[in-house]
Amino acid sequence: MIKIQKEDFNIEVEIELIKSSLPSVGAVTSFIGYVRDFNNNKNVNSINLEVYEKMVHKELTKITVKAKQKWELIDCLIIHRHGYLEVNEKIVLVACFAKHRQESFNACNYIMNYLKKYAPFWKKENYTNNSEWLENTN
């Protein structure tokens, strides 16, 4: 499942929504990304995340299909926010559901690495006196 949204999300609720109907799942690995308060030697107040919605659904669907085939995942969940976010807010959740832990660990890492390189989001950090678009460091 892929959700691209402005609203905050509850990690446990979202994972349980999927897990509750999958009794064969023995392992869930999750990654949560947050807005940090310091980056590029500057104090960050907030960020703005821009998204190319049509393309992001295609890209994330592509990677979840690959991950499911590669590691026999039972399911996977990606939630990525966009819009204005303040420090400490959640940005992204990737959760991989598998029978065993190794597949879920590997898939979660794989999906997150792909997302950082290819998912069409752009982050602008807001400092006290100015704002800057971040460069991709991946």
Partner 1 sequence: MLIKYFAWIKNITSCDQENLDSKKLKTIDDLKIHLNTKYPDLKKHIDKDTLRFAINQEYLSENKKIYKNDEIAIFPPVSGG
Q: Which residues bind partner 1 (CB under 8 A)?
A: 33, 49-52, 54-55, 58-59, 80, 91-92, 112, 115-124, 133-136
Rounded to whole angstroms, the Cα distance separating 50 from 63 reads 20
Rounded to whole angstroms, the Cα distance separating 72 from 80 reads 23
State which residue, 46 or 99, has the beta carbon closest to partner 1: 46
State which residue, 11 or 134, has the beta carbon closest to partner 1: 134
Rounded to whole angstroms, the Cα distance separating 54 from 128 reads 33
Task: State in angstroms the smallest separation of the CB of 115 from partner 1.
Answer: 5
Task: State in angstroms the smallest separation of the CB of 133 from partner 1.
Answer: 5
State which residue, 25 or 35, has the beta carbon closest to partner 1: 35
Closest CA to 84 of 35, 60, 48, 52: 48
